[in-house]
Amino acid sequence: MKDFKLYAITGEEFHQGRDLIEVMEEAILGGVDIIQLRDKKSKKIDVLKKAQALRELTKKHDVTFIVNDHIDVALAVDADGIHVGQDDLPLTEARKVMGPDKIIGISTHKIEEARAAEAGGADYIGVGPIFETKSKEDVVDPVTTQYIQQVANEITIPFVAIGGIKLHNVDQVLAAGATRVCMISEIVGADDVKGTCEKFIEILK
């Protein structure tokens, strides 16, 4: 897969009424190079409509587009890939459905899961939640930056740190060995989405 540094996940509950596509375009203009549509609440038809609009946006800006959970929607809009959790369709089956060329990312919370993801053919793994987060229901306890160190030492596929990452604590995440970071609230909930992304890009350099 094309490498990335700054990964933004949608979270419309943080938009304060702003339009999904406008917010995500600001994020892209600020330097986000991969976007994930994550919508746990809407009906399939509405997820599809958002995915179609985000596919168009990400094509226009040459940004990678990932869909969370909905493999059918990902295929229908020709997204670049999907992101699954530990309790979703297992990697082997997800690969059968997606085919060899699409990206499959998977969330991991401990080194055993990271090893299994690598062995199972994932293209990248999510590593987290690093810090406390209010953006995910049923979230496991923070894994801390220690888990980043373990993954950085052992896992060879790309990994992205996630969970409670903010401008004020991202230094700890990078110091532990992460080179890619992923956020919901700090990006899409920012008063200045583009400016916030530009600051992250500056720090990630």
Would you name the residues annotated as active-site residues? 38, 107, 136
Q: Does residue 135 belong to the site contacting ligand TZP (CB under 6 A)? A: yes
Tell me phi and psi for residue 36, to 5 degrees.
-120, 130
Site map 56..85 versus Mg ion, x via CB under 5 A? -------------x---------------x
**Binding site, residues?**
36-40, 68-69, 88, 107, 133-136, 164, 184-185
Q: Does residue 173 belong to the site contacting ligand TZP (CB under 6 A)? A: no
Residue 6: CB atoms within 10 Å: 23
H/E run at residue 67:
strand 64-68
- b (16+ CB within 10 A) / e for 40-62: eeeeeeebbebbebbbebbeeee
Instruction: Give the CA radius of gyration of the chain.
Output: 16
Between CA 63 and CA 40 the distance in angstroms is 23
Q: Does residue 164 belong to the site contacting ligand TZP (CB under 6 A)? A: yes
Amino acid at 15: H
Q: Does residue 123 belong to the site contacting Mg ion (CB under 5 A)? A: no
Binds Mg ion by CB under 5 A, chosen from 5, 49, 52, 88: 88
**Binding site for Mg(2+), residues?**
69, 88
Closest CB to ligand TZP among residues 62, 87: 87
The partner in contact with residue 85, picked from ligand TZP, Mg ion, none with C-beta cut-offs of 5 to 8 angstroms by kind, is Mg ion
